[in-house]
Amino acid sequence: MLKFIKRSFDMRILFKTNYKQDLNLAKHSGHRFWYGLLILVLFAAPLILDGYYIGEATRVLIFAMAGLGLMVLTGFTGQVSLGHAAFLAIGAYTNAWFLAQGFSSFVALPMAALLSMTGGLLVAIPAARMSGIYLAIATLVFAIIVEDFAGHLNSITGGNRGMMVDVPMLFGYQIWQSWELYLFVLIILVATTLIVLNILRSPLGRAMIAVRDSEISSQALGVNPMKIKVFAFTVSAAITGLAGAFLSHYMLFLTPQIFGILLSIQLLLMIVLGGLGTVHGVFFGAVLIGVLETGISIAKDILPSSIGGLPGIEPLVFGVILVSVIAFEPTGIYSRWVKIRSYMEFFPIYRRKSFKRQRAYLKTERLR
């Protein structure tokens, strides 16, 4: 066993004997071992951690799911969205409403994803024609509209007074315990991650990356950028809507203020910190934000009240960490992880220069 762990750190020479090897999600025994172990530990976590930490972990998972949705759109298709809180809101309210009508989670969750997806489709059709700052503004406006709607649709959302969320119902069984909700979220998160990974290794995912890196040449290769962007928007909205549904269970009580601009920005920050354009980045970002929030609130209790009680300590710590990540590792935590990994893999011969950033060659701006 120990030998196996050691071997999974060693420099690995992969002998490729067929093309199918490149299609596998786990490329070698080390991947299978470590990712298997990670999933095992995640599923076993409720045995070790108590209710509070399981709750915190659930929030991390929910944010990871929402971040995964945003990553499909922003990280892989290159479309910035400042309005993903809107999809969270649509998912959360839809889920809560269907549960309140007496439907089970089997209806409520798919409806949350579906309605959010429809919202995504409606935004995508005009948004696919926009890019950069204009797209950011358009999605921001969409989020504000959705927030306002939630505040005024008293009969469905309870307006600004808020709305209670029933617990999830599966096969007539109500999920009351925090560890049950945790496992439920974890299973759905693993499934959505697999779907995203599948998209990325198939033609659709490559087309998304093509649209992100050069729209003009993607067109010359027969990719329809409009279609790909609309697809990315819909998938992204569906995943984020699903995350929203779980968020409603985590929150237990919904008010429109939860889904403000700050939530959108937090999501965007999360994936930028984690590493844009990587699935790992989503999870790194979600864990970082989660650990920070939990850590700060614990530290506040431990520290003397003259320091811990100071207002604005959270934004301060957040700000310092953000600035240092952007200053020292602009490509996110994931790329730091890649460096550490290759340091261990190539141990005596690792060179810092192998990750030096290359200058970008001139690109045709005339065609844009």
Partner 1 sequence: MSFLEIKNLSISFGGVKAVDDVSFAIEEGSVFAIIGPNGAGKSTIFNLLSRFYEPLSGQLHFSDNDLLELGAKDIARLGIARTFQNLELFEHASVLQNLLVGRHVHNNQSWWRQMLFTDSVVDAELEHRRKVEEVIDFLELAHYRNQMISGLPYGVRKKIELARALCIEPKLLLLDEPSSGLNLEETEEMGFWIEDIRRDLNITVVLIEHNMSLVAEVSDRVLAIVNGRVAAEGSHTFVQSHPDVVSAYLGDAK
Which residues contact partner 1 (rule: CB under 8 A)? Answer: 19-20, 22-23, 195, 198-199, 201-207, 209-210, 212-214, 216-225, 231, 277, 358, 360-364, 367
In whole angstroms, give the CA distance from residue 231 to residue 280.
Answer: 22
Q: Are the CB atoms for 237 and 88 separated by under 8 Å? A: no
DSSP label at 354?
A: G
Least distance to partner 1, CB of residue 350, Å = 16
Least distance to partner 1, CB of residue 16, Å = 10
Own/partner pairs, 298-301, CB within 8 angstroms, 24+ separation? none
- Nearer CB in complex with partner 1: 210/258: 210
Least distance to partner 1, CB of residue 26, Å = 14
In whole angstroms, give the CA distance from residue 17 to residue 60.
Answer: 39
- Nearer CB in complex with partner 1: 36/203: 203
- Nearer CB in complex with partner 1: 197/326: 197
In whole angstroms, give the CA distance from residue 56 to residue 121.
Answer: 32
- Nearer CB in complex with partner 1: 80/163: 80
DSSP label at 366?
A: T
Least distance to partner 1, CB of residue 363, Å = 6
Contacts of 160 by beta carbon, 8 Å cutoff, 6+ apart: 151, 255, 256, 257
- Nearer CB in complex with partner 1: 224/324: 224
Least distance to partner 1, CB of residue 224, Å = 4
- Nearer CB in complex with partner 1: 181/210: 210
Least distance to partner 1, CB of residue 118, Å = 17
Q: Are the CB atoms for 193 and 25 separated by under 8 Å? A: no
Kindly list the distances between the CA atom of residue 122 and the CA atoms of 87, 94, 230, in Å, as whole numbers in the listed order. Answer: 12, 17, 9
